[in-house]
């Protein structure tokens, strides 16, 4: 692994690149500003390292906001260690979903969005009737409304599917949002609950904030 490319270029080293994952550790990677570079890091390791890298403070802050809102109750339901396992495996499955539909992409995937999407899928299953306070924009009217989690997260996953299908027409490896990582993560969250024994609680969770 060659070092010294700077913080921005580190995404190309530790991010998940479908071409490199499928082609092996010796696959050359074109890093902007540095030309074609032979990256020698273990490609399988980037299934995990990519989850802990982000494209900026807004990217990081957005993911952490969703994790703070929905992750607490899911962790309470699963327990600390099972939640850690759930989060990491959910993130890996989400990343593999992205690889499945963008096998030829040479762009790095970074961010915890797939793992967070798994948390959203689990929350949707465990706490469908919990009330989520959302900030609603209606032209010149801005107000908070409380909506059931099933509706909020249901609309969220529908938007991911729509954008993902639209992205197929322009090439999912063209950069931007990894919609299929979100979709795969959400489905992974539902699937992992089956194996981890997560069941709906007898009462809805406390209201959390969603901006």
Each domain of the chain, given as residue ranges in start order, spans 45-210
pLDDT of residue 2: 36
Tokens of residue 21, six digits: 């994952």
Is residue 142 within 8 A of residue 135, CB to CB? The reply is yes
Rounded CA-CA distance 108/5 in Å is: 15
Q: Which long-range contacts (CB under 8 A, 24 or more apart) does 30-33 make?
A: 30/106, 31/5, 33/9
Tokens of residue 69, six digits: 């809102």
Per-residue pLDDT for the chain (211 aa), expressed as one digit of tens each? 333 455 566 777 788 888 888 876 555 556 656 555 555 557 888 899 999 988 888 989 999 999 999 999 999 999 999 999 999 999 999 999 999 998 878 788 999 999 999 999 999 999 999 998 887 777 777 778 888 999 999 999 999 999 999 887 665 545 578 999 999 999 999 999 998 876 666 555 555 555 4
pLDDT in tens, 53-105: 888 889 899 999 999 999 999 999 999 999 999 999 999 999 999 999 988 78
Place of tokens 């322009």: 170
In Å, how far are 6, 69, 163 from 62, measured between CA atoms?
A: 24, 11, 18
Per CATH, the architecture of 45-210 is what? Up-down Bundle (1.20)
pTM of the full predicted structure? 0.82
Helix (H, G, I), strand (E, B) or coil at 55: coil
């Amino acid at each position: 692994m060659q070092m010294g490319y700077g913080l921005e270029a580190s995404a190309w080293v530790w991010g998940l690149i479908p071409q490199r994952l499928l082609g092996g550790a010796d696959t050359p990677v074109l890093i902007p500003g540095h030309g074609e570079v032979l990256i020698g890091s273990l490609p399988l390791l980037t299934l995990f390292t990519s989850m802990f890298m982000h494209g900026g403070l807004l990217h990081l802050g957005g993911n952490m906001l969703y994790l703070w809102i929905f992750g607490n109750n899911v962790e309470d339901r699963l327990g600390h260690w099972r939640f850690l396992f759930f989060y990491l495996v959910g993130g890996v499955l989400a990343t593999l979903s992205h690889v499945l539909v963008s096998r030829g992409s040479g762009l790095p995937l970074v961010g915890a969005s797939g793992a967070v999407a798994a948390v959203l899928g689990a929350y949707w299953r465990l706490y469908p009737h919990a009330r989520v306070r959302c900030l609603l924009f209606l032209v010149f009217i801005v107000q908070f409304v409380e909506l059931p989690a099933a509706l909020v997260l249901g609309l969220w996953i529908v938007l991911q599917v729509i954008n993902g299908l639209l992205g197929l027409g322009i090439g999912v490896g063209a950069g931007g949002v990894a919609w299929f990582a979100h979709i795969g993560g959400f489905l992974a969250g539902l699937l992992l609950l089956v194996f981890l024994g997560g069941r709906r609680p007898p009462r809805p969770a406390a209201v959390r904030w969603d901006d």
